[in-house]
Amino acid sequence: MNKINTDIVIIDSGVDLNHDSLRKYNCAGISIKFDEKGNLYLVDEDYKNDLIGHGTAVFFIIKNTVPEANVFVIKLFEQEYIDETYKLIKTLEYVYNNINCKVINISFGITCCDDIPGLKNICEKLTCNGVTIVSAFDNKGIISYPAAFKNVIGVDTSILCKKIEDYKFVTNDKLNIIGMGLQQRLPWINNTYIKVAGASFVAPYFTAKVYRLKCNNVKNFDDILENLRNEAAEVIKKDSCEREEFKLFKINKAVLFPVNKEIHSIIRFNSYLNFEIQDIFDNKYLGNVGKNVSSLLNVDLNKQIKNIESLDWESDFDTFILGHVKHLSILTKKDYIRDILEKCYKNNKNIVAFDDISEYMDLIDCFKSKKLKIYYPTIFKEDLNNDLTKLRLIGKPVIGVFGTSSRQGKFTLQILLKQLFENDGYKVGFLGTEPSSLIFGANEVYPMGYEGNVNVSGEKAVKLINTLIGRIEDTDPDIIIVGSQSQTIPSDYGNIDMYPLAQHEFILGTLPDIIILCINEYDVLEYIKKTIKYLEIISDSKVIGLVLSPLSRNIQFSILDYRINILTDAEMTEKKKEIEKKLNMNVYLLNNIKEIDQLYRKCVDYFQTSTYK
C-alpha cells in the first residue's frame, strides 16, 4: 500500500472546516477509533467533525502560520483528551506505517503513562525515520508524555512570555520550550471564537517553526534544537554537576563491621546476597565479640563475631562493608573511618561505607590512584533535574512501607515483599532509604535514615525523590516498593528533632497507592489512628494493613549498647487480636512468614481488582 505524503500531521479532536476562518483551507485526514477489544479501526470523514473545538484551534494556528504546508488531521478523541497510552501508541504506529511527514503535532500530554517504554519506542522510531514530534506539556505543570521524551520537542508556557517570539529555550532532556502564556482568540466549534491559553495552543507555533526549518534543509533533531536555541529570547541552562558519583560495584567476598542495625539486615538476608560474607567484626567493648550471629539474630548463618583488631587484612576478601561508626568513633576516640580507609588502601581492598566519607578526599584520591572502588550513598542538590517545578505522576503501582517509630523492621518487610513478588515472576522496582539498599537490589537509594547523607530539603527534596522514583519507572517494573524511616507523625512537640520533616518530604515525593504501616505493641491506639489518617490524607492513598513488630521497648544502657525485648508468639497473637478488634483493620505479624505472604496476596489482589490510578 502506498503511503500518504504530507508535511504536518495533527493528532487531536479533528477540525471544523466549515468555520468561517477555515473555509479557505482544505486538508486530508482520518478518524481513529477503537473497538471494545482495543483494536484500531478507521472512519474516513469523521475527522471533519470536531465536537470540542480543540483540534480546530490547533489547525488554525498551524495553517495561519504556514499556509503552504500540507496538513493531515487524525481525530483521536471527541469529548475528553486522550489519557490511554496504548491509543496514542497505536495512532503513532499508524503514522509510522502509513504516512510520510515532516512534523507531528500533539497538543496534549498523558500524565499517568502506564507504558513509557512502548510510547518512547515508537517516538524514537519516528525520529529515526526523519519525523520531528512537537508535543505540549500538561497545563497543570505535571510531567507529561510524549513531551518529556528526549527525542520530542516539549513545549510549556509562562505568563512571563508575552509574545510568541519571546520564548525561552531550556537545555534539558525533558522540557525544551517555554512559550507565551497569555490568552489567544481562536476559532472554536459552532463558528465561534473563544479566548484560550495553554501549551496546547503554543506548541502549534513551534510545529510550524520546525516545518520551516526542515524546508530550509535543517533536518537533524539536534540541529533543529540548536536553531530553536539560537532564536530564543532567553536560554535557561541546566546547572552542571561537578560532583563525582560513586556507584555500587560488584562484590565477591566481604567482611562486615560493626554489628549494628544496618549490618543486621545484611546478616539477616545473607541468602539473598550475591556475594559471600567472609567474616563479621565488632568493637570489643560492645559485648558482641565471641557470639554467633545465628543465635544473636536468629538467622541461618554460622558466623562468630570477631574483634575488629584481629582482622587479617591479607586474607582474600575484596570488600570491606563499613556500617555507621561516627558515634563509635566519638566514644572510643578513634577515627574508624580514616583508620579503615587507610587499611583498605594499604591492603588493596574496596570499601562500601554507610557514612558520608566525602571529607576524606585525600584518601579517596589515593583509592582512585590504585583504581580501588569506593561506594557511599549520598544525595546532593546537583542530582536534581532542571525540570523547573514539574513533577512526574507514576503510572506503575507503588507500595509504601511506613512506621510509627524506628527499629520496627520496615526494611526487613520491604525485602520480604520484594522476594515474594520476585518469586511469583514480578519485576520489582525498589527505592530504599537504608544505606545498604543497593546491596539488596534497590534501583535507587535516598539515604535519609540514621546518619543520613541527604543534602537537600523542602521542595528540592520532594522533587529529587520524585526524580528517583521516575528513574525506577523508566526501567518498566511491574510494581515499585518504597520504604520510609522512623515515625511518620510527631510523637511529641517539644523538640524540633521530634518533627519527621524528611518523612513528610518522602511521602510527597513517592505518593504510594497503598501503604503498609509498621506498628509497635506499645503504640497508643490513638497515635496509630492519627498516623493512618495522616498518610491517607496527605498521599490520597489507602493503608491496607498493619504489621506488628516483635520488638518490645528498647532498653538503652548507653549510646552504643541496646538491649531488645522480644515478644513471645503468644504475646504477639494476643496483641494482634486486640488491635484488629479496636481498629477494625488487618494486623500481620512480621515474624510470621505465612502472615506476610497473606499481606503480599492482599497487595496483589488490590492492584488486580482496584482502579487505583
Q: What amino acid positions are annotated as catalytic residues?
A: 12, 54, 200
C-alpha cell at 228: 530553536
- Find, among 108, 13, 92, 126, the residue nearest to 59 by Cα: 13
C-alpha cell at 420: 515474594
Contact partners, residue 92, CB within 8 Å, separation at least 6: 11, 104, 119, 122, 123, 126
Provide the residue type at 20 as one letter. Answer: D
Please write down the HEC assignment for all residues of 115-175.
Answer: CHHHHHHHHHHHHHCCCEEEEECCCCCEECECCCCCCEEEEEEECCCCCCCCCEEECCCCC
C-alpha cell at 416: 520480604
* Helices 361-369 and 336-346, axial angle in degrees (round to 10): 10
Would you call 263 helix, strand, or coil by DSSP? helix
329 in Cβ contact with 304 (< 8 Å): no
Task: For the chain, report the end-to-end CA distance as a whole number of angstroms.
Answer: 40
Task: Show contacts of 325-332: CB within 8 Å, 24+ apart.
Answer: 325/257, 325/258, 325/355, 326/355, 326/451, 327/559, 327/560, 328/258, 328/283, 328/560, 331/559, 331/560, 332/283, 332/285
C-alpha cell at 246: 560513586
DSSP 317-380: --EEEE---HHHHHHHT--HHHHHHHHHHHTT-EEEESS--TT-HHHHHHHHHTT--EE---B-
In degrees, to the nearest 5, what angle opens at C-alpha 427 toward C-alphas 425 and 429?
150
How far apart are alpha carbons 382 and 562 in whole angstroms? 37
Instruction: Give whole-number Cα distances, 412 to 140, 415, 440, 494, in Å.
Output: 38, 5, 11, 31
How far apart are alpha carbons 224 and 165 in whole angstroms? 16
- Find, among 206, 38, 203, the residue nearest to 115 by Cα: 38
How far apart are alpha carbons 549 and 560 in whole angstroms? 22
C-alpha cell at 359: 571529607
C-alpha cell at 582: 479496636
Would you call 33 helix, strand, or coil by DSSP? strand
